Structure 1
Amino acid sequence: MRNEYGSVPWLEVIAPLMPQVLAADWSHEVIGRDWMIQTYLDGVPAPEHLGTYPRTAWPAFFRQMGAIARSVHDVRGPCFGPVGGPGYGTWSEAVLASLEEIAADLDGVGLDAGDVRKVAALAAYDRAVLDEVTEPGLLTGGLWTVH
């Protein structure tokens, strides 16, 4: 949620499509957890309505989703990593740090992180390939029909 909140200024390119943040609090003093209040957007979630359209109309919907994703991915930033930080100087550093966090989270709940560690080792070994990406860009994983 904090990363979502921190990304709002970077998402100006699609601001008309997004709810407005009315309030946010990370102090845990009000309800004992992070919270954010946003405006309500009219509409029907795609999983509830997309199936009522003929399949021939679906490509236009998914082209629009692709255009929105492209506009987000065209946003450039000052560093690699989560919007809320920490920031990294290279893409490989950001990827490796993320994989380390995922492995630690798995360890923390008693799950096997071996596969994640294998991926991290491969990423570390071939980090030069990752570092072919030299310009930080905003990536979104939230543009799918259930959102």
Structure 2
Amino acid sequence: MESITKNRQPPAVLRAMIERAYGPERVPHGEGWARELGHGWFNVAYRIRLRDGAEVVLKIAPPPGVEVLTYERGAMGTELAALELIRKHTGVPVPAVDFADRGHELCDADYFFMPFIDADNLDVIEDRLPAAERDAYHERLGAANRELNSVRGTAFGPLAGPGDSSWRRVFTGMFEDVLADGERRAVDLGRPYATVRAVLTEYAPALDAVVEPRLVEWDLWAGNVMVREGRIVCVIDHERAFWGDPLIEAGFTGTQLAAFGDSSAFLRGYGHGALTENETWRRRLYCLYLVLVMVIETDYRGHTDTRQYDWARERLTEVMALFGRTGP
């Protein structure tokens, strides 16, 4: 996926990073030892073959001169913190961190190395799978997501803080941040920003039902799940994690917006029944936040075509209709 946030580096810099992480004896020679992994939208990632044949992945944060959405600032630090929490408190398989460097001496951004995961990306293969096999993977994903959400925090908000005892305050702050990001770039939502804010104001009291902070991935789509022989062997890309309401997780999105797919298998695996009335309104607020991010981030990514923007604008119309807002 193409994005101006991808901080590509020349071979000499990549070699210097490898030497710092693994030592000079493992720095590769010649050509063909690095290739970019193109699936992600935000960070650049390279698959690298070391001199001894071992394969690793190098992930580099966006360059400092590229403006990102407010919630994306410091994302690599968030991912490293999330990986530590997950390894310490759950059995969900996540990448090991071989080496992390946040000193900005070799390049202008944070980076880290992890082992290459030899497995299939679920998003890439699921359309080719028999329905029963695809559903089984999503049931396992639901169970894994529940285990991640079992990790309890002491306050809502970013993993690094500051925290807040009120989920309503934290979520409305997140929501306002993305609206401010959109207004700063004059991103067209197809309706006034004030109309969207009015929906949040009206339905925000539903958020008060959430009183216990839980570890939330928020970005746990099929594209971040690596599978092999019926098993989930690794969950990747944790830079959007925070302490929040588990109902905001990606797997619940299809309960309100059919375009995001059928959530039934995920819900079975998670062990979650039909949503209550309060949960339904919360989930609709989370859908609204998600599609706002998807619309507004296209400007910050510097997308050269409008496919994501157009698709997300349609979803914005659909979710606003769930709140009874059918006009501009």
Q: Give, in whole Å, the separation in 1 of the partners of 2:85 and 2:193.
A: 30
Residue of structure 1 equivalent to 2:218: 141
Asked whether the 8 Å contact 1:28–1:34 carries over to 2, the reply is: yes
Which of 56, 59, 65 aligns to 2:141? It is 65
- Name the CA distance, whole Å, in 2 between partners of 1:124 and 1:8: 34
Q: Does the 8 Å CA contact 2:83/2:95 hold for their aligned counterparts? A: no
SS of 1:36's partner is strand
Deviations 1:110-143 (A, max 9, x none): 3247766544444345443212111101112232
Equivalent residues of 2:101, 2:112 under 8 A apart: yes
- Distance change >3 Å, CA 106–CA 29, structure 1 → 2: farther
What is aligned with 1:20?
96
Paired position in structure 2 for 1:91 = 167
Q: Which has the higher contact order (CA 8 A, sep 6+)?
A: 1
- Residue from 75, 84, 87 that aligns with 2:151: 75
Matched, 1:129 2:206: yes
Q: Which segment drifts farther, 64-73 or 103-112?
A: 103-112
**1:20 & 1:117 partners in 2: Cα distance?**
44
Going from structure 1 to structure 2, the CA distance change for 1:94 and 1:56 (only over 3 Å counts) comes to: same
Give the deviation of 1:54 after TM superposition: 1.8
The amino acid that maps onto 2:82 is S
Q: CA deviation at 1:28?
A: 2.6
List alignment gaps of at least 5 residues for structure 2: 1-75, 225-328
Q: Sequence identity of aligned pairs in percent?
A: 27
Larger Rg: 2
SS of corresponding position for 1:21: coil
Change beyond 3 A, Cα 1:87–1:37: same
Q: Distance in 1 between matches of 2:78 and 2:143?
A: 22
1:61 Cα deviation from its structure 2 partner: 0.9
| 8 Å Cα contact 1:99-1:116 kept in structure 2 | no
Q: CA RMSD in A?
A: 2.3
Q: Deviations over 1:60-112 (max 9, x none)?
A: 11100100011111111011012122311110111011112212222333324
Give the distance between the partners of 2:102 and 2:201, measured in 1 at CA.
34
**How many angstroms apart in 1 are the aligned matches of 2:103 and 2:175?**
28
Confirm or deny: 8 A CA contact 1:7 1:83 kept in the other structure: yes
Range 50-59 or range 89-98, more displaced: 50-59
Partners of 1:100 and 1:117 within 8 A in 2: no
Is contact 1:24–1:37 with CA below 8 Å preserved after alignment? yes
Task: Summarize the Cα distance change of 1:6–1:52 in structure 2 as closer, same or farther, 3 Å threshold.
Answer: same
Greater strand fraction, Structure 1 or Structure 2 = 2
**Residue in structure 2 matched with residue 38 of structure 1 by the alignment:** 114
Structure 2 residue aligned with 1:104: 180
| In the alignment, structure 1 residue 8 sits paired with structure 2 residue 83 | yes
Q: Does 1:55 align with 2:121?
A: no
Number of equivalenced pairs: 146
SS of the residue 1:27 aligns to: coil
C-alpha spacing 1:128/1:54, structure 2 compared with 1 (3 Å) = closer
The DSSP-based 3-state class of the residue aligned with 1:38 is: strand
Q: Which amino acid aligns with 1:5?
A: L
- TM score, norm. by length of structure 1: 0.83
SS, match of residue 33 in structure 1 = coil
SS of 2:179's partner is helix
